[in-house]
Amino acid sequence: MEKLFKLLNRQVANFGVLYTKLHNYHWFVVGEKFFELHEKFEELYDEVTEHFDEVAERILMLDGTPIATLKEFLEHATVKEASGKLGYREMVEAVINDFKHVNKELAETIEVAQELGDEVTVDMLIGISSSLQKHVWMLGAYLK
């Protein structure tokens, strides 16, 4: 179970960092795509907040302890904070890459949960993965 807690906490950390990163993009996007991306980044940070909370609460339901400080998020996250001023294309590409990265890690976590017979966690993570995959596809189509 400790391995599952570690992997789930990594996603709590990733979603904590993504929440702030998406806010950064929401606040600092400029130019001709401002209106649509300002709104899209808000939609994404709202969704990431739901994933963030859902995964942390699942850890609690399993009698684990979710990480819950900014310091811990930065120590355990595998996605990086936003850095510098980016153009809208670079912002969208960064989100695509982060979502792909998190999705890959979710697959590993799903495997561990399956090995433990924890189908509720598997189901939750598959739902999150499905949503991230759809965003990757849609954001990729947006950039074409």
**In the chain, what are the domain boundaries?**
2-143
Tokens 């850095």 correspond to: 83
- pLDDT at residue 32 in the model: 92
- pLDDT at residue 98 in the model: 98
- pLDDT at residue 83 in the model: 85
Domain 2-143 has CATH 1.20.1260.10: yes
Q: What is the mean pLDDT of residues 126-140?
A: 98
- pLDDT at residue 27 in the model: 94
Per-residue pLDDT tens over the stretch 16-45: 999 999 999 999 999 999 999 999 999 999
- The CA–CA distances, whole Å, from 82 to 67, 90, 124 equal 21, 11, 27
* CA–CA separation, 40 and 36 (whole Å): 6
Per-residue pLDDT tens over the stretch 38-97: 999 999 999 999 999 999 999 999 999 999 999 999 999 999 999 878 999 999 999 999
- pLDDT at residue 48 in the model: 97
